[in-house]
Amino acid sequence: MTQAGKIGHVLRRGDRDTHGPLLRRVATDTRGGMAMLFSLALIPLLGCIALAVDVSTWHSARTELQKIADGAAIVSARELRIGAAAPEVLQEAARLYAQAVIDGGTSFVENPEITAEISQERDSVTIAVASTVSPIFSRLFNTGLSSVEVRATALLAGREPICMISTDTHTSHAMALFDYARLDAEECGIYVNSGSSQALNLEGSVNMQASLICVHGGIAYNGGSATPGPVTGCPRIGNPLSHRDSAISSRSSCSSNSEPMMVSGNTTLFEGKYCGGITITSSATITFNPGTYVIGGGGLNVVSGARITAENVTFVFVNGAGAYFAPESSVSFSARREGNLAGILFIETASGDPATFRISSNNARRLLGTIYLPKSKLLVDADQPVAGDSAYTVVVAREIEIANRSRLVLNTDYAATDVPVPDGVGPSSEIMLSQ
């Protein structure tokens, strides 16, 4: 190699020795790439956050609108009830109510559009309320979050007092009559909220009578009959006694491992907590003094021919407890006359599994008051009439079944007793907000 070549070779090797580490650091340094990737990811991330805010705003606006629609429907139904039935009058009543709510303070609703529609039978009014929403991000896309509309229907049920409601909204046979059963409620209305095609089941030589039989879903006839013919497709009516739930929340605590109380002789019981339940096992006379009885554990069971008398009482069932009255037993019950549970005979708390309340007693002619079982089933399968000697009886239960040769009688002689009827049922059931 010439001297010049040697010199060039050394220079090139020197360049590599000097710049090589720098080039390697540039080639392997990912900080700039990560920054670029983060910048690119930041745009959709911010978009997702903005969209989540838009969705939350939309749901909040819908909740406010639904409250306005519910109240406006009730106000409009009151106008309909007193005869001011023109849609524009109802619409103005609804608008004034909505404006009063907005003036009282709302966060997401301003200047809603309100329309009113009266049913062909003139027994209900439907209010539609619509409003715009100001989205942050989704206004660039057709997401449906820029407007919200809700509806509420109020049903005039006051032409006939309500004496029975099956509250389940989905199940088949939510109300059912089997064998030779009868349901006599000639002066009051019966409502079945289930949307099943077999919401009301009439099977065997059964018969039901009421002033109105209103079924949200359909009817399965298997030999039974009903007078008058049930109306299908009725609006669901809300639970008229849901406000009673808070009346028992403070007194419903009960230990789940308490021992049951066994009663085998003539006994007088006093109000209080029976967290293990009460079982009556003899043909004795049992008297429940006036007051409120909290029943847990295995529930209230009369498994013998005992004679039960309970005047001015309320039974509160907790932790999934139920009740059973054997065929040989004799029971006479009347509900509390005063206090926040006045008019309530049986009531259950929301805690615990669903239960069955079974009346098989062939001497249960007096059940004066309201039976309220929003998560459980009432089964009446005696051979003799039930509740026929009561001035009134109201039943609100998730499911209702009448079987065997039972004849459940729901009277409406409200003036014949000093046991008050709870608001929302009986003669005070003028307006019901449908679901």
Q: Which of 114, 133, 156 is the last residue of a domain?
A: 156
Number of domains the chain contains = 2
pLDDT at 362: 96
Q: Pick from 98, 122, 156: which residue ends a domain?
A: 156
Same domain (yes/no): 384, 287: yes
For residue 6, tell me if it sits in a domain.
no
Residue 408 and residue 360 share a domain = yes
Residues 201 and 335 in one domain: yes
Is 167 part of any domain? yes
Can you give the pLDDT at residue 149? 84
- 117 and 234 part of one domain: no
Helix (H, G, I), strand (E, B) or coil at 174: coil
Identify whether residues 131 and 216 lie together within a single domain. Answer: no
pLDDT of residue 23: 46
For residues 174 and 274, membership in a common domain is answered with yes
Q: Residue 169 has what pLDDT?
A: 93
Let me know whether 380 and 268 are in one domain.
Answer: yes
Q: 244 and 365 in one domain?
A: yes
26: in domain: no
pTM more than 0.85: no
Same domain, residue pair 92 and 71 = yes
- Model pLDDT, residue 28: 53
The full DSSP string for 248-310 is: HHTT----TTPPPEEE-SSEEE-SEEETT-EEE-SS-EEEE-SEEEEE-TT-EEE-SS-EEEE
Which domain covers residue 199, as residue numbers? 162-433
Examine the fold and report which residue of 156, 183, 200 is the final residue of a domain before the chain moves on: 156
Q: What CATH number does the domain containing 88 carry?
A: 3.10.450
Strand 431-433, strand 147-156: pairing: antiparallel
Residues 325 and 291 placed together within one structural domain of the fold: yes
CB neighbour list of residue 342: distance below 8 Å, 6 or more residues apart = 335, 336, 419, 420, 422
Let me know: does 191 contact 162? Beta carbons within 8 Å: yes
Give residue 344's pLDDT: 95
pLDDT along the chain (435 residues), means of 10: 48 49 50 59 58 67 82 73 63 78 70 81 79 61 66 70 92 96 94 95 96 91 92 80 73 80 94 94 93 95 94 95 96 95 92 93 97 96 96 97 97 94 74 61
- Give the pLDDT score at 11: 44
For residue 180, tell me if it sits in a domain.
yes
166 and 144 assigned to the same domain = no
Contact 175, 199 (CB under 8 A): yes
One domain for residues 104 and 204: no
